[in-house]
Chain A
Amino acid sequence: MNGAAIGAWDICLPVLLPMAATVLIGLTGRWPNLREAVTLITSGVLVYLVVGLIQPVFEGARPDILLFEMMPGLSIRFTVEPLGALFAGVASFLWIITSIYSIGYMRGHHEKNQTRFYICFAIAIGSAMGVALAGNMLTLFVFYEVLTFSTYPLVTHAGTDEARLGGRTYLGVLVFTSICLQLPAVIWTWYLAGTLDFTPGGILEGTASPELLGALFVLYVFGIGKAAVMPFHRWLPAAMVAPTPVSALLHAVAVVKAGVFTVLKITYFIFGLELASTLATGEFLLYAAAATILIASLVALRQDNLKRRLAYSTVSQLSYIVLAAMLANELAMVGGGMHIAMHAFGKITLFFCAGAILVAAHKTEVSQLNGIGRRMPWTMGAFAVGSISMIGVPPTAGFVSKWYILIGAFESQQFIAVLVIVASTLLNAAYLLPIVYVAFFKKPDDEPQPNSHRGSIGAAARAPHGEAPLSVVLALVATAAGTIILFLFPGSVLTLAQQIVASGG
Chain B
Amino acid sequence: MITENLPILLVVIPLLAAPLCVLLRQPTLVWGFATLVSWMVFAISIQLLILVLQDGTISYAIGDWAPPWGIEYRIDPASAFMQLVVAGIGAVSMVFAAKSVPHEIPERRIYLFYTMYLLCLTGLLGIVVTGDAFNLFVFLEISSLSSYVLISLGHDRRALTAAFQYLIMGTLGATFILIGVGLLYMVTGTLNIADLSGRLPEPAPRTSLVAFAFLTVGTSLKLALFPLHLWLPNAYTFAPSMVTAFLAATATKVSVYILLRFFFTVFGVDVAFFDLPVGDILLPLAIVAVFAASTVAIFQENVKRLLAYSSVAQIGYMILGISFATVNGLTAGIVHIFNHALIKGGLFMALGSVFLRLGTTQIDAMAGLGRQMPLTMAAFVAGGLSLVGIPLTSGFISKWYLVTGALEKGWWLVAILVVLGSLLAVIYVWRVIEAAYFRPAPAGAAQVKEAPLAMLAATWVLIGANLYFGIDSTLTVGTASRAAEVLLGLEI
Cβ contact of A141, chosen from B391, B416, B423, B471, cutoff 8 A: B391
Instruction: Name B460-474 residues within 8 Å CB distance of A.
Output: 470-474
- Interface residue A46 (Cβ < 8 Å from any Cβ of B): no
Query: Do A164 and B473 touch across chains, with their CB atoms under 8 A apart?
Result: no
- Interface residue B33 (Cβ < 8 Å from any Cβ of A): no
- Interface residue A378 (Cβ < 8 Å from any Cβ of B): no
Measured between beta carbons, the chain B residues less than 8 angstroms from A68 are 471-472
- Interface residue A176 (Cβ < 8 Å from any Cβ of B): yes
- Interface residue B397 (Cβ < 8 Å from any Cβ of A): yes
Bound: A70/B392 CA distance, A:
9
Query: Do B419 and A180 touch across chains, with their CB atoms under 8 A apart?
Result: yes
A153/B438 contact (C-beta < 8 A), A70-B472, A175-B426, A179-B422 known: yes
Query: Do A156 and B404 touch across chains, with their CB atoms under 8 A apart?
Result: no
- Interface residue A142 (Cβ < 8 Å from any Cβ of B): yes
Query: Do B438 and A175 touch across chains, with their CB atoms under 8 A apart?
Result: no
Cβ contact of B391, chosen from A138, A153, A180, cutoff 8 A: A138
Measured between beta carbons, the chain B residues less than 8 angstroms from A74 are 400
Instruction: Name A119-160 residues within 8 Å CB distance of B.
Output: 138, 141-142, 145, 153, 156, 159
Query: Do B477 and A175 touch across chains, with their CB atoms under 8 A apart?
Result: no
Cβ contact of B423, chosen from A164, A176, A187, A191, cutoff 8 A: A176
Query: Do A191 and B422 touch across chains, with their CB atoms under 8 A apart?
Result: no
Measured between beta carbons, the chain B residues less than 8 angstroms from A70 are 397, 470-473
Bound: A156/B474 CA distance, A:
40
- Interface residue B239 (Cβ < 8 Å from any Cβ of A): no
What's the minimum C-beta distance from A75 to chain B, rounded to whole angstroms? 10
- Interface residue A183 (Cβ < 8 Å from any Cβ of B): yes
Measured between beta carbons, the chain A residues less than 8 angstroms from B404 are 187, 190-191
Query: Do B438 and A171 touch across chains, with their CB atoms under 8 A apart?
Result: no
Query: Do B438 and A71 touch across chains, with their CB atoms under 8 A apart?
Result: no
Query: Do A164 and B419 touch across chains, with their CB atoms under 8 A apart?
Result: no
Query: Do B471 and A187 touch across chains, with their CB atoms under 8 A apart?
Result: no
Measured between beta carbons, the chain A residues less than 8 angstroms from B52 are none
- Interface residue A184 (Cβ < 8 Å from any Cβ of B): yes
Bound: A191/B400 CA distance, A:
10
What's the minimum C-beta distance from B441 to chain A, rounded to whole angstroms? 14
Cβ contact of A164, chosen from B392, B400, B403, B438, cutoff 8 A: B438
Query: Do A145 and B415 touch across chains, with their CB atoms under 8 A apart?
Result: no
A180/B423 contact (C-beta < 8 A), A70-B470, A70-B472 known: yes
- Interface residue B270 (Cβ < 8 Å from any Cβ of A): no
Binary flags per residue of B390-411, CB closer than 8 Å to A gives 1, else 0 = 1110000100100110011000
Bound: A152/B416 CA distance, A:
26
- Interface residue A188 (Cβ < 8 Å from any Cβ of B): yes
Query: Do B415 and A187 touch across chains, with their CB atoms under 8 A apart?
Result: yes
Query: Which of chain B's residues has its CB closest to A144's CB?
Result: B391
Query: Which of chain B's residues has its CB closest to A163's CB?
Result: B438
Bound: A175/B438 CA distance, A:
18
Cβ contact of B407, chosen from A153, A171, A188, cutoff 8 A: A188
A145/B472 contact (C-beta < 8 A), A171-B430, A184-B419, A187-B407 known: no
Query: Do B472 and A184 touch across chains, with their CB atoms under 8 A apart?
Result: no
Bound: A68/B474 CA distance, A:
11
Measured between beta carbons, the chain B residues less than 8 angstroms from A156 are 438
Bound: A76/B416 CA distance, A:
24
Measured between beta carbons, the chain B residues less than 8 angstroms from A153 are 437-438
A184/B416 contact (C-beta < 8 A), A145-B391, A190-B404, A191-B404 known: yes
Query: Do B423 and A179 touch across chains, with their CB atoms under 8 A apart?
Result: yes
Bound: A299/B390 CA distance, A:
35
Binary flags per residue of A170-204, CB closer than 8 Å to B gives 1, else 0 = 01000110011001100110110000000000000
Query: Do A175 and B423 touch across chains, with their CB atoms under 8 A apart?
Result: yes
- Interface residue B420 (Cβ < 8 Å from any Cβ of A): yes
Cβ contact of B390, chosen from A69, A145, A180, A187, cutoff 8 A: A145
Centre residue among A69, A141, A153, A184 by max chain B CB count within 10 A: A184
Instruction: Name A49-78 residues within 8 Å CB distance of B.
Output: 68-71, 74, 76
Q: Which 4 residue pairs of A and B lie closest in terms of their CB atoms, listed nearest first?
A: A142-B391, A187-B403, A191-B407, A71-B473
Q: A68-B471, A159-B438 are in contact. List 10 more A-B contacts (CB 8 A).
A: A141-B391, A171-B430, A175-B426, A179-B426, A180-B416, A184-B415, A187-B400, A187-B407, A188-B407, A191-B408
5 inter-chain pairs at a CB distance below 8 angstroms, sorted by A residue, are A70-B472, A179-B426, A180-B419, A187-B403, A190-B404
Chain A positions near chain B (C-beta within 8 angstroms) = 68-71, 74, 76, 138, 141-142, 145, 153, 156, 159, 164, 171, 175-176, 179-180, 183-184, 187-188, 190-191
